[in-house]
Copies of this chain bind each other. A is one copy, B any other.
């Protein structure tokens, strides 16, 4: 029993072959979207799944619904990972969450673009997730593993950061993101008396200045 057919709780259970088709379609979608991006056609997904496009549309009313199901599954999985991480008592739960989120994103790299659109309304899950992050964070900070000034928003950004690294590297180096996460977790550790660098407070160059710098440089 996977997370997938658990979703439509109130609906009548699918016939066995229908459920199999559904699984095959989701697996095919993960593979095809990972290879060609979300612009891949539904025909290709159906072909890889070994079914006709009509069957795809019987299971998922639109392409968007198929993507939503993938994304929803990932969200549920990450939420589950967060719940499990909350069981840790040594303050390492937040790190477990980050690793688990990395695993899941690496496994379904095709639809990360839609993973973090908070546009849709699964607010309950989102609220619980945020709440869990807060708990994990406090636990890590209490254990002295995480700097006290790290916020939930910082953790969200770590997840988006993983997304960027995974999308860019997973095809060529499936585990490269782990090294990146390592460095990021190091950035969460308590620091010495100097504290953070001055990136935030420094007055940054404007984009116009950056472009002007380009023009001044010799063309390659």
Chain A residues with a Cβ under 8 A of chain B: 1-3, 6-7, 9, 39, 73, 76-77, 79-81, 83-84, 95, 98-100, 103-104, 107, 116, 122, 124-125, 128, 150, 153-154, 157-158, 160-165, 167-169, 176-189, 191, 196-197, 199-200, 202, 204-207, 210-217, 219-220
Contacts and interface: CB of A to CB of B under 8 A. Distances in A.
A162 B180 CA distance: 12
Contacts of A216: 80
A213 B80 contact: yes
Contacts of A199: 95, 98-99, 178, 181-182, 185
A160 B154 contact: no
Contacts of A99: 199, 202, 204
Contacts of A210: 77, 80-81, 100, 103-104
Nearest to A98: B199
A115 B82 CA distance: 32
A162 B160 CA distance: 9
B157 A176 contact: yes
Contact of A3 (B77, B100, B167, B215): B215
**Copy number in this complex?**
4
B100 A205 contact: yes
Nearest to A116: B168
A207 B164 contact: no
Contact of A154 (B116, B164, B180): B180
Contacts of A95: 197, 199
B178 A183 contact: no
A179 B165 contact: no
Contact of A207 (B103, B168, B169): B103
A213 B177 CA distance: 22
Contacts of A160: 164-165, 167-169, 180
A73 B220 CA distance: 12
A217 B80 contact: yes
A123 B107 CA distance: 30
B180 A161 contact: yes
B204 A76 contact: no
